[in-house]
Amino acid sequence: MTVDPTSAIQYAHANYEEALTELQELVSIPSISTNPVHKEDMLKAARWLENKLTSLGFNAKVFKTEKHPIVFAEYHFSETAPTVLVYGHYDVQPPDPLDLWETGPFSPEIRGEHLFGRGASDMKGQIIASIKAIESLLKHDKLNINVKFMIEGEEEIGSPSLKKFLIENKELLAADVALNPDTGMISADTPTITLGLRGVAHFELRIYGPDRDLHSGMFGGVVHNPAQVLCDVLSGMHNEDGSVALPSFYDRVRKLSEDEKAELSRLPMNDNTYINQTGVPKLWGEPQFNAIERIGARPTLEINGIYSGYIGEGSKTIIPSYSMGKVSLRLVPDQDPEEVRHQIIEYLESTIPDTVTWEIKGPRGAPASIVDRNLPATIALKNALETVWGVPPVYKLEGGSVPVVASMEQILGIKSVLTGFGLPGDNIHSPNEKLHLPTWKNGIDTLIHFFINMTNIETE
Task: Please give the residues from 307 up to 326 whose contact with its own copies meets the rule CB under 8 A.
Answer: 307-320, 323-324, 326
Q: Are 91 and 414 in contact (CB under 8 A)?
A: no
Residue 130 CB contacts under 8 Å (≥ 6 apart), including other chains: 86, 88, 149, 179, 181, 447
List binders of its own copies among 356-415 (CB under 8 A): 356-357, 398-401
Residue 232 near its own copies by CB under 8 A: yes
Rounded distance between C-alpha atoms, residue 237 and residue 124, angstroms: 35
Residue 350 near its own copies by CB under 8 A: no
Binding footprint of its own copies, residue count (CB under 8 A)? 99
Using the contact rule CB under 8 A, the part of the chain among 96-104, 375-383, 403-411, 438-446 near its own copies is: 96-104
Nearest approach, Cβ of 415 to its own copies (angstroms)? 21
Cα dihedral 218, 221, 225, 231 in deg (nearest 10): 140
Q: For its own copies, which residue of 212, 247, 250, 391 counts as binding (CB under 8 A)? A: 212
Residue 123 near its own copies by CB under 8 A: no
**Which residue type does 65 have?**
T
Residue number, 272 or 410, with CB nearest to its own copies: 272
Residue number, 107 or 317, with CB nearest to its own copies: 317
Residue 278 near its own copies by CB under 8 A: yes
CA distances from 127 to 37, 45, 232, 254 (A): 24, 12, 43, 32
Residue 300 near its own copies by CB under 8 A: yes
Region of 318 please: left (phi>0), alpha (psi -120 to 50) or beta.
beta
Give the DSSP letter of residue 408: I
Residue 190 near its own copies by CB under 8 A: no
Nearest approach, Cβ of 95 to its own copies (angstroms)? 10
State which H helix or E strand residue 388 sits in. helix 376-389
Q: For its own copies, which residue of 222, 349, 359, 374 counts as binding (CB under 8 A)? A: 222
Please name the residue ranges forming H helices in 93-174.
125-139, 162-168, 170-173
Q: What is the DSSP string of 37-98?
A: GGHHHHHHHHHHHHHHHHHTT-EEEEEP-SSS-EEEEEE---SSS-EEEEEEE--B----SG
Residue number, 332 or 412, with CB nearest to its own copies: 332
Rounded distance between C-alpha atoms, residue 185 and residue 182, angstroms: 10
Q: For its own copies, which residue of 15, 47, 94, 109 counts as binding (CB under 8 A)? A: 94
Rounded distance between C-alpha atoms, residue 153 and residue 176, angstroms: 24
Residue 34 near its own copies by CB under 8 A: yes
Rounded distance between C-alpha atoms, residue 161 and residue 368, angstroms: 19
Residue 349 near its own copies by CB under 8 A: no
Q: What is the DSSP string of 188-238?
A: TTB-EEEEEE-EEEEEEEEEE-SSS-EEHHHHTTTS--HHHHHHHHHHTTB
Using DSSP bridges, classify how beta strands 177-180 and 83-89 pair: parallel, antiparallel or unpaired: parallel
Residue 186 near its own copies by CB under 8 A: no
| Per-residue contact flags (x/-) with its own copies for residues 97 to 116, judged by CB under 8 A | x--x----------------
Residue 204 near its own copies by CB under 8 A: yes
Q: For its own copies, which residue of 170, 215, 266, 373 counts as binding (CB under 8 A)? A: 215
Using the contact rule CB under 8 A, the part of the chain among 141-149, 253-261, 272-280, 439-447 near its own copies is: 272-280
Residue number, 111 or 361, with CB nearest to its own copies: 361
Rounded distance between C-alpha atoms, residue 439 and residue 417, angstroms: 19
Q: For its own copies, which residue of 163, 206, 254, 429 counts as binding (CB under 8 A)? A: 429
Q: For its own copies, which residue of 118, 124, 148, 202 counts as binding (CB under 8 A)? A: 202
| Per-residue contact flags (x/-) with its own copies for residues 37 to 76, judged by CB under 8 A | ----------------------------------------
